[in-house]
Amino acid sequence: MQGLYLVTDRPLCGQKSLEDVVLQAVKGGAAYVQLREKDISTRIFVEEARRIKQLLTPYKVPLIINDRIDVVQASGADGVHVGQDDMPYAVARSLLGDKAIIGLSVETWDDVEESQKLGVSYIGVSPVFATPTKTDTKGVWGLAGLAKIKSFSRHPLVAIGGINESNAREVVAAGADCLAVVSAICASSEPEAAARKLKSIIDTALLMRR
């Protein structure tokens, strides 16, 4: 996994529809979309996931659902992202099958070591920097922590937390293969332009890292 990874946040979209923000982000170069909903009913979540999946299919961009394996199964999404307190990886894999994308957040070094034993698609380094969109974490990794994980882990790293145009280059340089952003796109007045700029920074930084 490499590139720009959009994590949705409906309130941050303001007057823009979630579907429009997702579409603009993908047109701007987002390679993955994670649908994150904490405050809507299962029925509405499934309906929304189906709409987003249909929207993404022509672009061949995978749809990943935050936490909810039932929503993945009901919507035909491509995978799930789980945290340390969500369904265990082995159970998620048995339910979703070998082809599903399954990402796992790591918040402590023990989490990182444990993830080495798992066939996850990627690990989410969470959070790299402090951010108001992730308040239930155990601390921040920082660039040094990210670099330490990169030198140890066999998995692709998706960095999330406080990432934007001003620090994207150094996050990739520290070891992130993919940058997950929330407010940098959802809260932007021009999501497509914001995504295009971030993608350009990521692509250039990845080339420089080789």
User: Both ends of the chain: CA-CA distance in Å?
Assistant: 15
Q: Which of 53, 93, 105, 188 is catalytic?
A: 105
Question: For residues 92 and 120, is the Cβ–Cβ distance under 8 A?
Answer: no
Q: Which of 10, 134, 150, 199 is catalytic?
A: 134
Question: For residues 131 and 161, is the Cβ–Cβ distance under 8 A?
Answer: yes
In three-state secondary structure terms, 58 is helix
φ, ψ for residue 52 (rounded to 5)? Answer: -65, -40
27 a catalytic residue:
no
148 a catalytic residue:
no
Q: How many CB atoms lie within 10 A of CB 60?
A: 8
Which of 155, 171, 77 is CA-nearest to residue 121?
Answer: 155
Question: For residues 75 and 50, is the Cβ–Cβ distance under 8 A?
Answer: yes
105 a catalytic residue:
yes
Q: Which of 16, 36, 50, 169 is catalytic?
A: 36
Which of 92, 75, 74 is CA-nearest to residue 83?
Answer: 92
Q: Which residues does the annotation mark as catalytic?
A: 36, 105, 134
